[in-house]
Amino acid sequence: MTRLVSVLALAVFLLAAAAAAEPGPGPDRAPPAATVGIDPRADREPPAAKIVPRAFEAHGVRWVDEYHWLADRDDPDTMAYLAAENAYAERRLVRLRPLVEELAAELHARADGAHVSADFVEHGYVYRRRYVPGARFAAVVRRRNQPGASEQVVLDVEALAAGHKQYELNNYTVSPDNEIVVFAVDFTGDRRHRIFWRNLATGAVADTGIENAASDLVLAADSRTLFYLRTEPGTVRAHQLWRHTLGTPAAQDTLLHEEGDIGFELGVGRSKSDRYILLRSEHQNTSELRILRADRPHEPFRLVEPRRKGVVYAADHVGDSFYIRTNLDAPDFRLVRAPEDAPGAANWVEILPETPGRHIAYFSTFETFLATVEDGEAGRTVRVFRRADMREIAVPRPQALGVMDLYVADGNANRDASATTLQVRFNSLLHPTAIYEFDTRTGGLTLRERSLAARWFDPDAYEVKRIVATAPDGEAVPATVMYRKGRLRAGGNPTLVTGYGAYGWGQHPGFPGDWVSLIDRGFVYVLAHVRGGREKGQRWHDRGRMLAKMNSFTDFIAVTEAVVAQGFADPRRVFSQGGSAGGLLVGAAMNLRPELYAGVVAEVPFVDVLTSTFDTSLPLISLELEEWGNPVVKAQFDAIRAYSPYDNVAAKAYPPMFVTAGLHDTQVGYQEPAKWVARLRARKTDRNEILFLTNMEAGHTGLSGRFGAVAERARIIAWLVSLAEP
């Protein structure tokens, strides 16, 4: 999940909250007598978190949060509660051990061959990721782009990660002179990186001394001047651009630019031509760009176009022009061109107009052509145009339904501006990930690499259908359904309905991966393309955010009802699953219609929306109020309060739940699912189990490496299968 309250507004809110707070434990107070413990020998009695009432007030509304204390990770009771929940979940899962072990072996074997890498060319070398069976991580290797060239290891990630439980190499860049590689590593999963560099001739690895950095890295044309971003303490917002000379102490680095608006975050990259360094400052609906000649790293950056609220633009450079994607006068975006010496909006010339309902997600430029990636009709596709006259060159699709986009391995594939071919990636519910090469001269599409999943996955054994549900306001909501042929029963099957619906990121109909193991055990798998994504363009996003966010949840419920009504789902065995903002989706839908679901899986769920959006010191919150709303504004406060899962837990029956968290998660703090589970345990009127597992060594995306998710996903699938048994 990605996630504008002023500091003053926050301070006013917290002062009001403190003034209204009921007496509770603090440094000089004892815990209340109502604190409840747990008998560790009792398999059926879950933990009960202590109750420490804390009152808040805003807009004349007063509410009490009895589990606010769980946000304090330094409180020994917090760690004790998380440990108790983990222990309880482990005890409850013992009964599923045979199935969990069977699934873990199955998923591990499939994960060992699930990754696919194709060659790509940059600076005269051919690069690829080489996967060794059984290894957690790949090696990045290269050879000169000439016949008979020997292979050279750029980064042996498996060796570098040895001894580290968590090791996320989130970016690397090779110098223009091909002599060194700089790379950024996150050792905890909290999105704070340490930067290293390696001499490719000697193999020596050096620590730059740069800590708390974002993963963006750019080397200037001199191959020794590095531009990187530092993250803001607390929020982990990339807010400063720094310049570093490799081989010198980080203490001598120069601060070049600081983004002072807490609603904006920086990003830095390089143009396709390699002639410019691009410094982006981005908010959800506003952006601006600064540029610097890569061969003049000590000159100041030049502003392209000042930020204007609601105007988004992103640029790349090829030849003597900048090519720009913008929503100016085009909600679903258009492409414009501008001369490199005067790239401001006054000189933008439209070259590809907007197509309403088809959102241009991003684009890539080359010397002879350019490519766009577009979302529409609950799918994603690639379009290619000749640069000279913008005549479209038709790109064949392997299948009608699916996800077709550019191959962007390590952010470096499709980097050769002189290429006449384009590497595209395609996958669908029936098509494991494959990489194709599209020849822009002949229009031919050639398969280059295919995931090893094709060895065990038989597409002829499954059926995929697109259906439509009708939302309460009459909107047609698409959904994609998958099941094994010959397994659909009269009266419906156990069914898993999944969704996301936020930030304009859709639930694309891509290869289901681990969920194939669930489908093979009789489940129908459903992707709900709810509002909040961009499956139908920008309008689909706008009608599922801020004051209209409730549409996401009612869309999800409408899809659930539709798969039952159309005979796919057994109404007694319908389950839901979502992660991050998708966890918010399933949590809110469960509050609205708990009787619809036989079980809910919420992975690192964003469920404490009201408290979080009031606190801009939390990671991502200041960047995301255009998505959820600003609770300082009364109407937006009311909208958030109406759907926030934590704030709407009531004394009623809820379905069984499987909830996860990551202790080092800086996108959704562990305390959100922890508080939610604690309140559900205290208020719900049923005896249905809640399993809550916190990964004490990981962040938002779980443990790193190819097998990091295997144990957790095996448990979730086993739990769903057990609940679906007649």
Predicted pLDDT at 112? 61
Residue 73 falls within a domain, yes or no?
yes
Per-10-residue mean pLDDT of the chain, 726 residues long, equals 32 30 28 33 78 95 96 94 95 95 90 69 89 82 92 93 89 95 92 95 95 96 98 92 97 97 94 97 94 97 96 96 97 97 97 96 96 92 96 92 85 87 94 94 93 90 97 97 96 97 90 95 97 95 96 98 98 96 97 98 95 80 85 95 97 97 85 97 96 84 63 94 92
> According to the model, what pLDDT value does residue 379 have?
87
Classify 460 as helix, strand or coil: helix
Work out the angle at residue 263's Cα, subtended by the Cα atoms of residues 262 and 267, and round it to the nearest 5 degrees: 95
Whether 129 maps to a domain, the answer reads no
pLDDT at site 111: 76
The per-residue pLDDT for 664 is 83
List own/partner pairs for 11-15 with CB under 8 A and 24 or more apart.
Answer: 13/56, 13/58, 13/614, 13/632
Q: Is residue 75 part of a domain?
A: yes
**Pair 692, 161: CB distance under 8 Å:** no
Each as own residue / partner, the long-range contacts of residues 154-159 (CB below 8 Å, 24 or more positions apart, any chain) are 154/127, 154/181, 154/198, 154/200, 155/181, 155/183, 155/198, 158/132
Let me know if 555 is a catalytic residue: no
pLDDT at 378: 84
Cβ-based burial of 510 (10 A; exposed 0-12, middle 13-18, buried ≥19): buried
Considering the candidates 257, 283, 508, 700, report the single residue annotated as catalytic.
700
Tokens found for residue 646:
């934590």
Q: Does residue 194 fall inside a structural domain?
A: no
Catalytic site residue 700? Answer: yes
CA distance 247 to 574: 58
Query: In the prediction, which pLDDT does 624 show?
Result: 84
- Tell me the C-alpha distance between 699 and 381, whole Å: 31
Strand pairing class (349-352; 334-339): antiparallel
**What CATH code is carried by the domain that includes residue 548?**
3.40.50.1820
Residue 471, domain member (yes or no): yes
Beta bridge partners of 438: 422, 445
Q: Which of 364, 451, 517, 580 is catalytic?
A: 580
Spatial contact of 574 and 586, defined as CB atoms under 8 Å apart: no
Q: In what order do the strands lie in the sheet with 349-352?
A: 313-318, 321-326, 334-339, 349-352
Domain range spanning residue 669?
A: 7-14+23-32+45-96+461-703+716-724
Residue with tokens 């290269």: 142
Query: What is the value of pTM for the model shown?
Result: 0.88
Specify the pLDDT at position 14: 28
Count: domains in the chain: 1
Does some domain include residue 383?
no
- CA atoms 700, 701, 705, 709: torsion sign: positive
665 is catalytic: yes
**Residue 522 is assigned to a structural domain of this protein:** yes
pLDDT for res 377: 87
Helices (H) and strands (E) in the chain — how many of each?
13, 38
Place of tokens 């996967």: 131
The answer to whether position 223 is within a domain reads no
Predicted local confidence at residue 410, as pLDDT? 67
Q: What angle do CA 694, 560, 587 make, to 5 degrees?
A: 30
